[in-house]
Amino acid sequence: MEIENNASILMVVFILFISLFCTCFIFYKTKVHCRCKICHAYVTSSWSFEFDNLCDWYTHLLQNSPTKTIHIHVLHNTITSNHQNVEYMLKTRFENYPKGKAFSAILGDFLGRGIFNVDGDSWRFQRKMACLELGKMSMKAHAFEVVKYEIDHRLTPLLSSCTRKEHQVLDFQDVFRRFSFDVICKFSFGYDPKCLHESFPMSELAIAFDLASQLSAQRAMTTSPLVWKIKRLLNVGSERRLQESINMVNKFANEVIRQRKKLGSCCNHEDLLSRFMAKTKDSIYLRDIVISFLLAGRDTVASSLTGLFWVLAQQPKVVDAIRAEAMMVTQHEAFTSFEQFHELHYLHAVVYEGMRLFPPIQFNSKFCLQDDTLPDGTFVRKGTRVTYHSYAMGRMETIWGSDCLAFKPERWLKDGVFYQENPFKYPVFQAGYRTCLGKEMALVEIKSVILSFLLRFDIEIAYPSLTPRFSPGLTATYAGGLPLRVRERRGKI
Ligand code: HEM
């Protein structure tokens, strides 16, 4: 009995010792003791007394920094909104700013060796393969067909039925998330989760996918990776839920791959998975590649549509101009091919302007491999996280002029023709060697939704005093969604 008691006491002492050791280690490693004004505001969240969102506080700090660069010591994070620094990281010294091991560790359980999560040869191989496939005309036509089907058979009927119910308020963020999940699953896997079906079903895959990306993002917000690593080791709390949701996503992906392998080459599938299967037989690798595409193409599109509709619901003149341009290009007929979109310069400018103010990926981090000095003179020590902040960059007077906060599509037009700004001043799709591979598809998807919507419906924001508040996550998500009222435009197609 006494031996048992002693063993219990020893065990408790041991656990206390380990906890104390870990706490001290985390304290030491993360410099949570830094008492500078900025770090203090970050650790105590006192910034939130003055700002709605963390990104607004960072924007304020960056606007007031002479170099447009700041350093958050407790996060070992240098944050910049200086476009020369962005070009330096993403192009000039690309090899010195990889995603790095810390980032791979955060997303590794979820994304494995998928393109989003790797550097070096593995990244080069996947990028080359994906570029070849996504560049093909047949792939672009396939993407357009998938988007068109989802709009004609799901989105438009849903909105029409909504207009028949008086005072009905619809959460457009939810609608766009369902829409883009259906589209990217069909495009990537050839699988239709039917999330936007009239009955608004809850897709178990979508729920597990959301949870996995949310909880993975939370890992990045802890002041030390040791916190989530210990939780993962003990399989407790958020780490346990993360593992469960990852298992669910993997189970689903493995099943689709198994079914597709069984069918062999007998059926001519157009989806991305079938095309990649011709290049590699490694099932886990295939799964990782496709899950990365789901992540890349789902929330980004939904987020940009939500931000754009938030703005459009309050800009009737812009809506009128979009309609007028569409009528001129199509001569009052329906859009039948994606080539027609190239003629819609004003609409293109609206989409770019919307994402300037509300970029779906608000910031992006790399890790510095060797000590370096950025073009603005900021010294960066080896191992530091370096982040460019697209949200803040869209609000910099130094880049966009004194009207930087105004929504002005005209700033993208020269004599009525869309004019592309320096991509390092507008890294919404990233820039340099790792530029987004789905940009064209995303733009066709976004423009198709805006057009089909505005030509047929009027929209009105349900609660005009609402201001955007973002929930933490890998992509900008609007807390509380986007509640809008929809009305059919009488006599219009
Ligand atoms: C408005 C929509 C979109 C935005 C704003 C966007 C933005 C971005 C950004 C910022 C990156 C860099 C991410 C990083 O390196 O951490 C990226 C990469 C990527 N995006 Fe997109 N994206 C969008 C839609 C899409 C779609 C629809 C697809 C797929 C069909 C896609 C596929 C990819 C891929 C594969 C990469 C990785 C490229 C690489 O690492 O070489 N994206 N995107």
**406-417: average pLDDT:** 97
Q: Give the pLDDT band of residue 474 (cuts 50, 70, 90).
A: confident
Q: What is the mean pLDDT of the chain?
A: 88
410 C-alpha to center of ligand 1: Å? Answer: 26
Nearest ligand 1 atom to the CA of 272 is 30
Spatial distance between the Cα atoms of 138 and 307, rounded to a whole number of angstroms:
30
Share of the chain above pLDDT 70, in %: 89
297 lines ligand 1 (CB under 6 A): yes
For tokens 């509709």, what's the residue?
A: 309
Q: What is the pLDDT of residue 361?
A: 96
319 lines ligand 1 (CB under 6 A): no
Q: What is the pLDDT of residue 18?
A: 55
For residue 309, is pLDDT > 70? yes
Which of 110, 216, 388, 436 for mutating ligand 1's site (highest number of atoms within 8 Å of CB)?
436
With 0-12 CB in 10 A as exposed, 13-18 as middle and 19+ as buried, what is 400? Answer: buried
Condensed to tens digits (0 to 9), the pLDDT of residues 363-378 reads 999 999 999 999 999 9
| 439-442 long-range contacts, CB within 8 A, separation 24+ | 440/134, 440/140, 441/134, 441/140, 441/143, 441/187, 441/297, 442/297, 442/300, 442/301, 442/304
Condensed to tens digits (0 to 9), the pLDDT of residues 141-174 reads 889 999 999 999 999 999 988 888 776 789 999 9
473 lines ligand 1 (CB under 6 A): no
Residue with the smallest CA separation from ligand 1 atom 30 is 438
Nearest ligand 1 atom to the CA of 292 is 35
**96-105: average pLDDT:** 91
Condensed to tens digits (0 to 9), the pLDDT of residues 215-251 reads 998 887 777 788 899 999 999 999 999 999 999 999 9
**278-287: average pLDDT:** 86
For residue 491, is pLDDT > 60? no
Highest mean pLDDT among 65-69, 193-197, 233-237: 65-69
Q: Please indicate whether residue 390 or residue 475 has the higher confidence score (pLDDT).
A: 390
Q: Please indicate whether residue 273 or residue 62 has the higher confidence score (pLDDT).
A: 62
140 lines ligand 1 (CB under 6 A): no
436 lines ligand 1 (CB under 6 A): yes
Q: What is the pLDDT of residue 203?
A: 84
Q: Give the pLDDT band of residue 423 (cuts 50, 70, 90).
A: very high
Give the residue extent of every domain in the chain.
31-488
364 lines ligand 1 (CB under 6 A): yes
| CATH code reported for the domain at 31-488 | 1.10.630.10
471 C-alpha to center of ligand 1: Å? Answer: 20
> Is 34 a known ligand-binding residue?
no
For residue 16, is pLDDT > 60? no
**46-52: average pLDDT:** 96
438 lines ligand 1 (CB under 6 A): yes
Spatial distance between the Cα atoms of 479 and 221, rounded to a whole number of angstroms:
18
Q: What is the pLDDT of residue 165?
A: 77
Q: Give the pLDDT band of residue 435 (cuts 50, 70, 90).
A: very high
60 lines ligand 1 (CB under 6 A): no
Condensed to tens digits (0 to 9), the pLDDT of residues 438-471 reads 999 999 999 999 999 999 999 999 888 788 999 8
With 0-12 CB in 10 A as exposed, 13-18 as middle and 19+ as buried, what is 173? Answer: buried
The string of DSSP codes covering 364-407 is EEEE-SS-EE-TTS-EE-TT-EEEEEHHHHTT-HHHH-TTTTS-
